[in-house]
Amino acid sequence: MQQKHFPHNHGQVMENEFENIPESSQFETVAEIFKQMNDGNRLKIFWILCHCEECVINLSAMVEMSSPAVSHHLKQLKASGFIVSRRAGKEVYYKASENEKAQFLHRMIEQLLEISCPVPKEKK
């Protein structure tokens, strides 16, 4: 095993600590999650889509934003793989992706905000 030599020797043996440092590309998933977290409205839209499938018009009403603004956030979320869409006639419906990255962001939002998924009301 080849020992790494650092510019400054602080008397520490670092050969085992740094031999398994992940490549920068492996941190991209984490970076992408944090990019999405820079806008509260985007997170709110994503959180809603974790619990239902909706169109832009209804999402706009839910978050009290214009349709173009909501569409902008949806485009960002979709490009990052956090949501998926499907077309039904002229309408496009969005929902959260079922991938690990989207599920992690969903759990993180709920833990940080100390909220939980809405529970469907029982039918009477």
Question: Is residue 95 one of the residues assigned to a domain?
Answer: yes
Residue 76 lies in a domain: yes
Whole-prediction pTM value? 0.75
Q: Is residue 10 part of a domain?
A: no
- Give a yes or no: residue 101 inside a domain: yes
Q: Please name the amino acid found at residue 57.
A: I
* C-alpha to C-alpha distance for 75 and 88, rounded to whole angstroms: 18
Give the chain's domain count: 1
Q: Does a structural domain hold residue 121?
A: no
**Chunked in runs of 10, what are the mean pLDDT values of the chain (124 residues)?**
65 65 82 83 95 96 97 95 96 96 90 78 48
Would 73 be classed as within a structural domain? yes
Asked if residue 119 is part of any domain, the answer here is no
pLDDT of 119 reads: 66
Place of tokens 């820079």: 38
